[in-house]
Every structure is written in C-alpha cells, then in structure tokens.
Structure 1
Amino acid sequence: MSENIIAFILGIVEGLTEFLPISSTGHLILVGNLLGFEGEKANTFEVIIQLGSMLAILVLYWKRYLSLLNFSTIGKPEKKLDAIHIILGVLPAALVGLLLHNFIKNQLFSPNVVVVSLIAGAILMIFAEKKHGKFVSSTVDELSYKQALTIGLFQCLAVIPGFSRAGSTISGGLLAGANHKTAAEFSFLVALPIMVGATGLDLIKSLHFLHTSDIPMFAIGFVTAFVVAMCVAIVFIKVLAKIGLTVFAYYRIALAALFIIFVIL
C-alpha cells in the first residue's frame, strides 16, 4: 500500500476520532499497526494531522475565539464566556502535561496503557451519563468559572494515552451541570490551546524526522484530517444530546478488545 493511501486512511481516522469521546490515539495506534506504519516517521505524521484537526476547530469557532479578546466582559454580572473560562479549562491539563511530558511519552505510550485507559474512560462516561443532575448551564455563556475549572481538572485525565480528551471533558461537563451540547462545545473550545501546546512541543522535537520527500504524504493527511474533523464536529454537536455518551463508551470497550487481539497478542 502506498504511503499516500496510508496518509489518506489515517487522515480520515484522525478526523473522525479527534473530537469524539473514543480516543484518537488509540485508533491511530491500532490502524497504524494494521497498516504497518509505525516508528518515528509515523509519530511525526500523527502530530501533523492533529494540526489539521485543530485548524478545523479554529475555522468553526474563530468568532468565539475572537470574542475572548474582549477583556471588558471579565467579571461583569451578565453571563458570558470569557478568557478566564478558557484559562481555567486549559491550565490544569497544561501544567500536568508540561510536568509529565517525558514520562508520558516514554512510559505511558504502550498498548497495555491504552487498553486500560479505553476501559477506564468508558466507565467514566457511563457514570457521567447516569449520575449527572439537573442541567444548570444550557449554553457555554452560562458556564461558571467553577464549572470551567471542573472541566479543566477532568481534562487532566486526557494526558493518559487512550483516555480521550473529549471523553474526559464532556464527562466532566455533565457532572458539573452542563448539558451535552454545552459540554461538547466547551470541550472543542479548550481543545485548541491544549492541543497547540502539546503538538507544538512534539513537533519541535520531531522536526529532524521531516524531509521534503514526505511533503505530499503529510499534506494529504493534514487536509483529510481537516475536512473530516470539521464535518464530524458539526454533526457531533447536533446528535450528542440524542444519543448520549453511553454508546461511545460501549464502542471504547469493543475497541479495547480489538487492541488486545491485534496489537497486544
């Protein structure tokens, strides 16, 4: 199979899974293993296509990000999402990621950790669906600073490969009193800064693996991930309230079983 076809397949996988609560890392490892595309080049490629997914969120929410630059609304009594919400949603995971970056990359990126994380994340999502109380925030503009911080603390779980950033933040949002749509939208909004930091650090460390001959392959993966991620984000917001997290939790358990069969055994 040519590298360009592999790039297209993995771009689809990244776009489909990055913003769904099913672990993009787990899927990329599994599919990469099945395609025989592994090693340092594959790791660098994953960083590049994640940038494509991030660009999709920036395009979808650029007006919202621009509004965060209006600092005059901070601390005002009228409810409105501001930069402090984003900082509270990002800072805990950013600190954990920076402090434990080398440990995570060297010790936690293993099939066994991914399997455990897939199952643990599934349990969290089922728990969040069953235990969330009355929704007190029906839009992101109604989120309190306390809710934003709660979601940010749950996002710390996402530093563990296979746990899923979307799964942990949306679960945290439900348990904090946000409805499904609000939890998903805030999850998207805090994804960009945390992913820019994480992938930026990885990209700097991977630059020496990039060669001009790889540009077509990387470009195909980047563009594919961008287009697919944008479509998935739009549809996911619309259907999440109807289907909930439980169906994704069961999917994660099935994925963990596939991981055991094809990667570990």
Structure 2
Amino acid sequence: MTELLTVILLGIVEGITEFLPVSSTGHLILATRLLGYDAGRWEVFNVVIQLGAILAIVVLYWRTFWAVGMGLFRREPKSWLFLRNLVVAFIPAAVIGLALHKYIEALLGNAEVVTIALVVGGFAILAVERFAPRSDISGVADIPLKTVIGIGFLQCLAMIPGVSRSGATILGALALGVERRTAAEFSFFLAIPTMLGASALELLKNRDAIASGGGVGLGAIAIGAAVSFIVALLVVKWFVGIVTKHGFVPFALYRVVAGSAALIWLLSK
C-alpha cells in the first residue's frame, strides 16, 4: 500500500471514530496491525491528525463559540460557567496524562488491550443506557461543578487504548445525570483542549524526528488532518441525530462485535 493511500485511509478512520464512543486511537492501533505498517513511524501522525477532526467541531459549532466569546466579553454568567466547566473537566486529563505519559505510551502498541477494552466498553454502554438516571440538565453551562469534576476524571479512563475519550466522557456524563445531547456536545467541546494539548506534546517531543524526516512528513500529516476534517464534518451531525433518536445502544453493539472479531483475528495469527 502506498504512503498516500495509507494517509487517506487513516484520515478517514480518524474522522469517523474521533467523536463516536468507539475509540479512534483503538481503531488506529488495530489498523496498524491489519495493514502491517511501522507503528513507531506513524505515531505522531496518528495523534496530530486529530486536529482536523477538532477543527470540524469548531466549524460546526462556531455560533456556540461565538456566543460564548461575546458573553465572556459582556461578563454574562452562562458564558463564564461554560468556560469554567471546560477548564475544570480538562485539568484531570492534563495532570494525569503528563504524569503517566510513559506508561500510556507503553499501552499504545498493544492491540489485544484495545480489543478487550472495546468489548468491556460496549457492555458498559449498555449498562449505563439501562440504569442511568433521567435528567433535565440540557446545557453545558448548566452542568453542576461536582458533575464536571467527575466527568473530567472519567475522561482519564480513555488513556487506556480502546476505551474511547468520547465514550468515557459521554457515558460519565450520562451516569452522572446529564441528558444525551448535552453529554455528547460537552464531549465534543472538551475534545478541543484535550486534543490540542496531546498534539502539541507529540509535536514537541518528536520535533527532531519530524525535521530530519525520520517519521511521516508534515505534508502527509496535513493531508491526513484534512481528510479527518472533512469526514468528521459529516459524521458529527449524523451522530447527534442517531443519539437523540436511538441513544448509544447501536455503538455498544458495534464495540462488542468489532472487539470480539478483532480479538479472534489477533489470537488466530
């Protein structure tokens, strides 16, 4: 497979899976094993192309961000609560992620961990959908502080590849009493600082390898990010519609089936 085709394929995988509760990192790790390419060489690429998917959220929700920005300027309480909730929920992942960075990296090459996490996460989604309390919290600014702190710590579960950052935050929000659409949108917004931080860390850590051409080049990263941006634009709107009408059960079933199939394939090799 040519490098350009691999770049496009991984960009599509990232754009589809970044905001679904199915683990984009897990799918990229499994793609590594399936396609047989050098995981170390593509490590920075897999992280940084997430910026394309993040940009899709900025574009799709630009009115929300504009309103919050204007509200901050006018000192409107709702806008400050919106910002507070994002900052507070981001802090646990930033602190724990930096502290455990080496241990997290060690897991990123383990496809078997991904498959198990996919299956366990699928059953977790089914359990939360069945037992989560009903809620009328229908706005990011309306989420109570203690709930935001809980969501922030639950997001840290996604440091295990295959758990899914969006899945951990959405399910955490649901379990703590946030309604579906707000839980999904809070996960989208929280992805912005989280993924920006992860991408900046990877670029800084691997700047010498990128400059020397030891990894995937900046041109390939740019193409992958562009592909993930376009695909994520389409997927996010579809995802919100599915969640609003049918909940998260379809994604739970996908996780169980895909994770089980991948594990069987890995064990048979």
Same fold (TM over 0.5): yes
Aligned positions of 1:213-228 closer than 5 A: 214-228=217-231
Task: Give distance in 2, aligned partners of 1:115 and 1:174.
Answer: 24
Task: Give distance in 1, aligned partners of 2:151 and 2:36.
Answer: 36
**TM-score between both structures, scaled by the size of structure 1:** 0.90
Of 182-191 and 215-224, deviating more is: 215-224
Displacement after TM superposition at 1:8 (Å): 0.9
Of 118-127 and 209-218, deviating more is: 209-218
How well do the aligned residues superpose, as a CA RMSD in angstroms?
2.2
The aligned counterpart of 1:47 is 47
The aligned counterpart of 2:95 is 95
The aligned counterpart of 1:242 is 245
Displacement after TM superposition at 1:166 (Å): 0.8
The aligned counterpart of 2:25 is 25
Displacement after TM superposition at 1:123 (Å): 2.4
**Relative to 1, partners in 2 of residues 1:213 and 1:96: Cα closer, same or farther, differing over 3 Å?**
closer
Contact 2:20 2:166 in 1 (8 A): yes
- Deviations 1:133-165, CA, capped at 9 Å, x for gaps: 121212323322222222212111111111001
Task: Give distance in 2, aligned partners of 1:79 and 1:221.
Answer: 33
The aligned counterpart of 2:204 is 204
Displacement after TM superposition at 1:70 (Å): 0.9
1:261 to 2:264 alignment: yes
Contact 1:155 1:168 in 2 (8 A): yes
Of 11-20 and 45-54, deviating more is: 45-54
- Deviations 1:72-110, CA, capped at 9 Å, x for gaps: 234xxx697421111122112222111111111124541
Of 143-152 and 82-91, deviating more is: 143-152
Q: Output the amino acid matched with 1:256.
A: G
Contact 1:90 1:193 in 2 (8 A): yes
SS of the equivalent of 2:49 reads helix
Q: Output the amino acid matched with 2:251.
A: F
**Relative to 1, partners in 2 of residues 1:140 and 1:103: Cα closer, same or farther, differing over 3 Å?**
same
**Relative to 1, partners in 2 of residues 1:99 and 1:261: Cα closer, same or farther, differing over 3 Å?**
same
- Where does the alignment leave 5 or more consecutive residues of structure 1 unmatched? none
1:170 to 2:173 alignment: no
SS of the equivalent of 2:41 reads helix
SS of the equivalent of 2:161 reads coil
Task: Give distance in 2, aligned partners of 1:95 and 1:123.
Answer: 29
Contact 2:122 2:255 in 1 (8 A): yes
Task: Give distance in 2, aligned partners of 1:79 and 1:139.
Answer: 11
Task: Give distance in 1, aligned partners of 2:266 and 2:224.
Answer: 23
Q: Output the amino acid matched with 1:6.
A: T
Displacement after TM superposition at 1:235 (Å): 1.7
Task: Give distance in 2, aligned partners of 1:117 and 1:30.
Answer: 12
**Relative to 1, partners in 2 of residues 1:36 and 1:144: Cα closer, same or farther, differing over 3 Å?**
same
SS of the equivalent of 1:41 reads coil
SS of the equivalent of 2:42 reads helix
Task: Give distance in 1, aligned partners of 2:192 and 2:147.
Answer: 19
Contact 1:4 1:216 in 2 (8 A): no
Task: Give distance in 1, aligned partners of 2:216 and 2:94.
Answer: 34
The alignment covers a number of residue pairs equal to: 262
Aligned positions of 1:104-119 closer than 5 A: 104-107=104-107, 109-119=109-119
Identity %, equivalent residues? 39
Displacement after TM superposition at 1:216 (Å): 4.1
Displacement after TM superposition at 1:256 (Å): 1.4
The aligned counterpart of 2:159 is 159
- Deviations 1:169-221, CA, capped at 9 Å, x for gaps: 11111112211110000000111101111121122222233239834433321
1:70 to 2:65 alignment: no
Q: Output the amino acid matched with 1:248.
A: F
Contact 2:118 2:255 in 1 (8 A): yes
Aligned positions of 1:119-158 closer than 5 A: 119-158=119-158
Contact 1:73 1:82 in 2 (8 A): no
1:37 to 2:40 alignment: no
Aligned positions of 1:6-25 closer than 5 A: 6-25=6-25
Of 211-220 and 233-242, deviating more is: 211-220
